[in-house]
């Protein structure tokens, strides 16, 4: 972990969003989001069980403590409504630190995923991460558009569970 990540503020606010590091109080929202096939069906390992969501939340809290970055819960600033998650994670396949985002389907087309993903990417680079990747199914045009729109470029591909996965990267300036 880069030392400057430890001293970075962990709460991010953008024009429309608040990104908060995970806490146990967010468990009910995270269970609803991560057990929903329409949201998490596209994510690595697919939709989760409620028990797995709790385990992941505990892992996310610990990851923040060790790494100084991680996944945020995303809220609409105006209303406090929970929209989903976005942030940075170490991919279990060894490809590196990846930007990730998963918001409710009702949020699509409003730029929230782009805004949250850009905030996470900027946070990571400002904290000293020289390379951040993003991964999307070839058929997930919305996620591919978000990754491209935040300045990432396609650099690799691989197969996962019968799907062609595209890898995008962002290099620190």
In the structure encoding, which two tokens stand for residue 109, read together? 């087309």
pTM for the model stands at 0.88
pLDDT tens per residue across span 53-103: 899 899 999 999 999 899 999 999 999 999 999 999 999 889 999 999 989
What count of Cα atoms within 13 Å lies in the side-chain half-sphere of residue 170? 27
Long-range contacts of 101-108 (CB under 8 A, 24+ apart): 101/74, 101/143, 101/146, 102/33, 102/34, 102/39, 102/40, 102/42, 102/43, 103/39, 103/74, 104/33, 104/39, 105/38, 105/39, 107/83, 108/142
Looking at residue 170, what is its pLDDT?
98
Task: Please state which architecture CATH assigns to domain 3-171.
Answer: 3-Layer(aba) Sandwich (3.40)
**In the chain, where are the structural domains located?**
3-171
Helix axes 141-149, 112-126, angle to 10 degrees: 50
pLDDT tens per residue across span 12-50: 999 999 999 989 999 999 999 888 887 777 666 777 888
Distance between CA atoms of residues 101 and 40, nearest Å: 10
pLDDT tens per residue across span 132-143: 999 999 999 999
Looking at residue 44, what is its pLDDT?
64
> Is pLDDT above 50 for 4?
no
In the structure encoding, which two tokens stand for residue 152, read together? 């990432």
Task: Look over the chain and give the mean of its residue pLDDT values, rounded to a whole number.
Answer: 89
């Amino acid at each position: 972990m880069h030392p400057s990540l430890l001293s970075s503020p962990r709460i991010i606010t953008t024009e429309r969003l608040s990104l908060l590091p995970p806490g146990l109080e967010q468990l009910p929202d995270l269970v609803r989001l991560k057990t929903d096939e329409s949201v998490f069906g596209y994510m690595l390992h697919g939709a989760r069980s409620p028990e797995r969501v709790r385990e992941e939340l505990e892992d996310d809290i610990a990851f923040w403590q060790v790494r100084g970055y991680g996944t945020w819960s995303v809220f609409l600033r105006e209303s406090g409504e929970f929209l989903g998650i976005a942030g940075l994670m170490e991919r279990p396949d060894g490809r590196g630190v990846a930007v990730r985002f998963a918001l409710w389907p009702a949020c699509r087309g409003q730029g929230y995923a782009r805004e949250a993903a850009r905030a996470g990417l900027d946070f990571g680079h400002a904290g000293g991460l020289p390379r951040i990747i993003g991964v999307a199914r070839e058929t997930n045009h919305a996620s591919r558009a978000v990754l491209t729109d935040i300045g990432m470029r396609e650099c690799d591909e691989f197969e996962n569970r019968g799907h062609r996965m595209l890898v995008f990267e962002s290099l620190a300036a």
